[in-house]
Amino acid sequence: MERALLGIFMFMLLIASFILGVLTPLNPDLAENLARSVEDYIEDNIVPRKDIVELGIFIFSHNLIRALPMLIPVVGAIWGPIVLYITGIYSNAIMITLGVFGPEKLKIAGLALLTPSTILELVAYSLFSSESIAIFKYLRGERDYYLSYTVAITIVGISILLLAGMIEALEIRRAMIAPSFLY
């Protein structure tokens, strides 16, 4: 039960970190530079990948690189919120350059958090971040915890990230071909 509560707490902390990043005031020049870097990243890494599976694997590997440090004892519980805060900062920069301000920002951020791929990513990140605390407890000598749980949770988390990557690839392709009035 304690692990489930820790996972739920981490899930909420990750969401709060993302929202905090979205609400952080940014200098217009910084916002422009960050938004341009996202645009360049998309042009260089997302657009050229025409195959959905290739794009899904790319997204999965990108997310996994950010997720694995979340398993480091204690550090992972700090790293997870930092990753989501930075994601919120970049989202904020994009919204600023598009002229989105005030309550509209929160609405867009909330909608972004409700996409299936984002929910799955948050679940995986919550598992990894909360597991870092459990590993720390084990290393401190609390032997009521088994490392086999860590292996199982890691496999489940990686599987969730793979599924999230594939779903996100489908979401991206759909957004690229669908008329804008559908959104």
3-state secondary structure 139-166: HCCCCCCCHHHHHHHHHHHHHHHHHHHH
Which whole number is the average pLDDT over 58-85?
97
Domain boundaries, the chain: 2-175
pLDDT-derived band at 37 (thresholds 50, 70, 90) equals very high
What local confidence, expressed as pLDDT, does residue 181 receive?
52
Residue 120 has pLDDT above 90, yes or no: yes
Q: For residue 46, what pLDDT band results from cuts at 50, 70 and 90?
A: very high
Q: For CA atoms 50, 54, 60, 66, give the dihedral sign.
A: negative
* Burial of residue 5, with CB atoms counted within 10 A of its CB: 0-12 exposed, 13-18 middle, 19 or more buried: exposed
